[in-house]
C-alpha cells in the first residue's frame, strides 16, 4: 500500500469514529434533557464540531500509536511484492 492510500484509509476511519462518537454524545445529551423535544442545531457549528472531533481523534491515535508505520524507505526490498 502506498502512504497516500494508507492515509486515505486512516482518514476514513477517523471520520467514522468521529461520527459514532458524536452520535453517542448527542444520545447522552438527549437522555439528560428529556424536556427538549426538537433537535435543531446550527449547521455551521455542526461542521466545526465534527472537524474538531476528527482533530481530537487524529491527535489521540498519533500520540498512542504503538506500531511503526510501514514506510517504503524503511522496508527491506525482499519483502516488497
Domain assignments of the chain as residue spans, ordered by start: 3-65
SS3 72: coil
57, 21 Cβ separation under 8 angstroms: yes
pLDDT per residue rounded down to tens, the chain (81 residues):
567 766 777 899 999 999 999 999 999 999 999 999 998 999 999 999 999 999 999 998 888 877 655 554 444 455 555
pLDDT at 71: 53
14, 61 Cβ separation under 8 angstroms: yes
pLDDT at 29: 96
DSSP 78: G
Amino acid at each position: 500500500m502506498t502512504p497516500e492510500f494508507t492515509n486515505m484509509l486512516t482518514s476514513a476511519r477517523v471520520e467514522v469514529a468521529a461520527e459514532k462518537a458524536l452520535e453517542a454524545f448527542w444520545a447522552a445529551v438527549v437522555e439528560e434533557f428529556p424536556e427538549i423535544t426538537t433537535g435543531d442545531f446550527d449547521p455551521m457549528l455542526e461542521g466545526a464540531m465534527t472537524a474538531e472531533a476528527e482533530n481530537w481523534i487524529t491527535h489521540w491515535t498519533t500520540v498512542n500509536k504503538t506500531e511503526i508505520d510501514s514506510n517504503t524507505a524503511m522496508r527491506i526490498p525482499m519483502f516488497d511484492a
